[in-house]
Amino acid sequence: MTNILIILTDDQGRGDYSAFGTKDIQTPHIDRLFREGVEFQNFFANSAVCSPTRAALLTGCYPDRVGVPGVIRDENPENSWGYLAPGVRLLPQVLKPVGYHSALIGKWHLGTSSPNLPTERGFDFFHGFLGDMMDDYWTHRRNGQNYMRRNKKTIEPKGHATDLFTDWACQYLTERAKANRPFFLYLAYNAPHDPIQPPPEWLEKVKQREPGMSEKRAKLVALIEHMDAGIGKVLDTLDTLEKTGLAKDTLVLFTSDNGGVLANGANNGPWRSEKGHMYEGGLRVPGAARWPGVIAPGTTTERTTLTMDLFATSCAVAGVSIPAGIDGTSFLPTLRGEPEPPESRAHYFVRREGGVAYGGKTIEALRRGEWKLLQDSPFAPQELYNLKADPLESTNLATKNPEVFRELAAALRRQIQQGATVPWQRLEPPK
Catalytic positions are: 50, 109
CB 351, CB 56: distance < 8 Å: no
259-282 burial, b at 16+ Cβ within 10 Å, e below that, comes to bbbeebbbbbbebbbbbbbbbbbb
Inter-residue contact 133 to 152 (CB < 8 Å): no
For the chain, the residue count is 431
CA gap 292, 252 in Å, rounded: 10
Residues 383 and 374: beta-carbon distance below 8 Å: yes
Order of strands across the sheet that contains 153-154: 153-154, 148-150, 125-129, 101-107, 183-188, 3-9, 250-256, 287-290, 38-44, 299-306
Q: How much is the CA Rg of the chain, to the nearest whole Å?
A: 20
Q: In sequence order, what are the residues at sequence separation of 6 or more whose Cβ sits closer than 8 angstroms to the Cβ of residue 332?
A: 313, 316, 317
CA 185/CA 188 separation, integer angstroms: 9
**Beta bridge mates, 386:** 371
Distance CA 322, CA 318 (A): 10
- Taking residue 417's Cβ as centre, other Cβ atoms within 10 Å add up to 9
Run of H or E residues at 216: helix 215-240
Nearest to 286 by CA among 308, 259, 252, 251: 259
Query: Helical H runs in 319-400?
Result: 332-335, 355-358
Question: Contacts from 422-427 at CB under 8 Å and sequence distance 24+?
Answer: 422/64, 422/65, 422/66, 422/67, 422/85, 423/67, 423/83, 423/85, 424/64, 424/67, 424/68, 424/69, 424/70, 424/81, 424/82, 424/83, 424/352, 425/80, 425/83, 426/83
